[in-house]
Structure 1
Amino acid sequence: MAADEAAVEAAPGSPGRVTITDIARRAGVSVPTVSRVVNGRSDVSPGTRARVEELLRRHGYRKRAAARGRRAALIDLVFNDLDSPWAVEIIRGVEEVAHAAGVGTVVSAIHGRSGDAREWMRNLRARACDGVVLVTSALEPVLHEELRILGVPLVVVDPAGSPALDAPTVGAANWSGGMAATEHLLSLGHRRIGLIAGPPRLLCSRARLDGYRAALEGAGVPVDESLIVPGDFHPESGFAGCDTLLDLPEPPTAVFAASDQMALGAIEALRRRGLRVPQDMSVVGFDDLPEVRWSAPPLTTVRQPLADMGRLAARTVLRLTGDPRPDSPRVELGTELVLRASTAPAAVAIRTRP
């Protein structure tokens, strides 16, 4: 029983030092049952688990890691999904910093589902993770509060919406990137410029859209709402969005896709219609994923420093384990327009049918 009592510790700021035996007594269960809940085991009934977890939350308990001093022993890196090369670049940056610091990394996907997020939180409590990097995802307020009670530092990369007020964020200069992509196409003589936008729930998507609008307005080009089509950052939506633009009575001569994956989908839609990039239509992406330099043609895009964003987020989490005050609540890393072969001066006319 003594070993069980040593299995958890109260987080800083929790309401009192209560032992695991006290938790068991208040929940009306045995000490081994509480230990099974703490360690994430499945052989506990749902009702008992919920009762014990509520008491653990109330008292800010988390599993005690082996002697580790002030530095985090494990970083939890949490995505909404992992089906994009974009995520790989973030992981690469976080893992590089974590490895150099002798810290492990756990990668999870919660798929925007409440049940998955709660399961992740249960697993986090069991493994006593000391830092969380949350990427383009949103947690329910109750889970944010749970992290606060546990004393687990949180850094948000590309926040999905308004981030928790006490969580530092790391992002890229999405507005200026969207503006630079659109200004580049304007400089080539394009005036009908389509936009395949990202998910509107994401701040980065809205910023890229606002940058596109600002560039057009700055050049005295009216914003044509029919040229703005929705996407979800995946290739299929880029393909569908480009098809929609090509079916307009007057199609655009250039397309700015708010992600490289959507840009590649747009290029495939053009190819299937017998149209050439950039001779018939120019295409610009956003991200500068490694593979786009090998696309046909190589993609002009806006580089956002994804790996650097991961590195900075990991460094911030490691620093917050010793000092809970971030240097800055919001950090934006610069973006850069990378010119390749997918853009050219505007054609006189565009052929929309094979």
Structure 2
Amino acid sequence: MGTRIKLDVIAAAAHVSTPTVSKVLNGRPDVAPRTRRHIENVLKELGYTHRPPRPRRVGLIDLIFNDLSPWSTAIVRGAEEASLAARTRLAVSVIPDEAAVERWLSSVDRSRTDGVVLVTADLSPSHRERLAELQAPIVLVDPVTDPVADLPSIGAGNWAGAAAATDHLIALGHRRIATITGRLTALCSHQRLDGYRAALARAGLPIDPALIAEGDFAYESAHASAIAMLRLPDPPTAIFAACDQQAMGVYEAARRLGLRIPDDLSVVGFDDIPTAAWMSPPLTTVRQPLAEMAALAVRTVLSPHPTPSHRRTELPTELVIRASTVPPRRA
């Protein structure tokens, strides 16, 4: 009887029917998003706290990118393998701007989902609130900024990978080592830059601002930065690029200036996309466990005992040494 009275009170305060309140309290999906938000606000005002049961699975996981890049294939492959193992379908969406985010949120409100894996996401507070209304687990893969406290995230050991790449060049005898970063609005770019700096500092080598260029993970910007660096009076003998696409830009810059890789310039990338092994010469790079990161994210959202929300999981990277790095002709 007490529960019935409480439902009536909530329904009266929200100006909705008692069955509608019951649906919200029990996590039923057949309530309009705006109505659900209104009732939940009334519940808060009345001091009524509840934890609705997780809705029954619908057999669908959403994998969301804000952009597609050469390493997206590995992410999709890893997520698909984990989804197939769980007998769950995978829906892949690309939402590059605010309007696309709103369209996707509206569509998923209607269709429901068992979990959302967000790749390289930079979520606004309003979008985090909207995602929370889905009442489905959410995991971030390689978040752009420091992950928010209430969402688990999965990434790679960016700092360690960059330090290993720089250590490798130092061990070969390079002393003028440049780097082309990714966008410095991205968390991974700061981590890789910090790893590069730490390796130089450990070796007692100076950190020359002229040998640090900010890129944007793209071929074109890396090509322009490499041209400028290689035309310096005292140019670098090695360049660490923050991704393999940027390393391709460095290759072309060296070719245009009549330099040979690795004889005149050693190059290291990051990611180990498939084309890295096909470049001429094959590229030394840091392998990110992209497929493993995506598979872990899918298993996390489907787990009956999800990863604690405050936890960030980092998988180790691996330096893959190929033919683009050799000792310098000049130290």
Q: TM-score range by the shorter chain?
A: 0.7 to 0.9
Q: CA deviation at 1:100?
A: 1.7
Q: 1:258 to 1:281 in 2, by over 3 A?
A: same
**Separation in 1 of the partners of 2:39 and 2:95?**
26
The reply to whether residue 58 of structure 1 matches residue 38 of structure 2 is yes
Whole-Å separation in 2 of the counterparts to 1:279 and 1:73: 54
User: Structure 1 CA distance, aligned partners of 2:64 and 2:309?
Assistant: 22
- In structure 2, the partner of 1:281 is 265
Aligned equivalent of 2:316: 334
Q: How many residues align?
A: 297
Q: 1:116 aligns with which of 78, 95, 100?
A: 100
Question: Deviation of residue 142 (structure 1)?
Answer: 1.4
Aligned equivalent of 1:86: 71
C-alpha deviation, 1:59, in angstroms: 4.2
TM-score if structure 1 supplies the norm length? 0.78
If the length of structure 2 is used for normalisation, what is the TM-score? Answer: 0.83
Residue of structure 1 in register with 2:330 after alignment: 348
Amino acid at match of 1:96: E
**Which residue in 2 is equivalent to 1:181?**
165
The answer on whether the counterparts of 1:117 and 1:139 sit within 8 Å (CA) in structure 2 is no
Q: Report whether the alignment pairs 1:138 with 2:122.
A: yes
Does structure 1 residue 77 correspond to structure 2 residue 57?
no
Q: CA deviation at 1:186?
A: 0.6
CA–CA separation in structure 1 for the residues paired with 2:55 and 2:113: 14
Equivalence for 1:32: none
**Cα distance in 2 between the residues matched to 1:284 and 1:325:** 34
Alignment of 1:292-303 (within 5 A): 292-303=276-287
Distance 2:132 2:326 in 1: 51
Corresponding position: 1:306 with 2:290:
yes
1:160 correspondence with 2:144: yes
The answer for unaligned runs of 5 or more in structure 2 is 1-8, 21-29, 41-53
Using the TM superposition, give the Cα deviation of residue 290 of structure 1 relative to its aligned residue in structure 2, in angstroms. Answer: 1.3
For 2:305 and 2:57, the matched residues in 1 are separated by 10
AA partner of residue 90 (structure 2): T
Matching residue within 172, 176, 181 for 1:197: 181
Question: Which residue number corresponds to residue 129 of structure 1?
Answer: 113
Give how far 1:274 is off: 1.6
Alignment of 1:181-260 (within 5 A): 181-260=165-244
Separation in 2 of the partners of 1:270 and 1:108?
Answer: 37
Query: Any gaps of 5 or more consecutive residues in structure 1?
Result: 1-14, 27-37, 40-51, 61-67, 350-354
Per-residue CA distance 1:213-237 (angstroms, 9 max, x = gap) = 0000000001001101011112222
Name the % identity: 52
Aligned Cα root-mean-square deviation (Å): 2.5
Aligned to 1:352: none
**8 Å CA contact retained: 2:121, 2:143:** yes
- Secondary structure at the aligned position of 1:340 is classed as coil
Poorly superposed stretches of 4+, deviation over 2 Å: 15-18, 52-60, 68-72, 322-328
Query: Is the CA contact 1:72–1:131 (under 8 Å) kept in the aligned structure 2?
Result: no
Mapped contact 2:200–2:206 kept (Cα < 8 A): yes
2:155 to 171, 175, 187: 171
Measure, in 2, the Cα distance between the counterparts of 1:17 and 1:227: 65
Deviations 1:158-188 (A, max 9, x none): 1111222111110001001000000100111
**Offset at residue 55 of structure 1 (A):** 3.0
How far has the Cα of 1:53 moved from its partner?
A: 5.0
In 1, Cα distance between equivalents of 2:296 and 2:73:
16
Q: Choose from 87, 91, 94 the match for 1:102.
A: 87
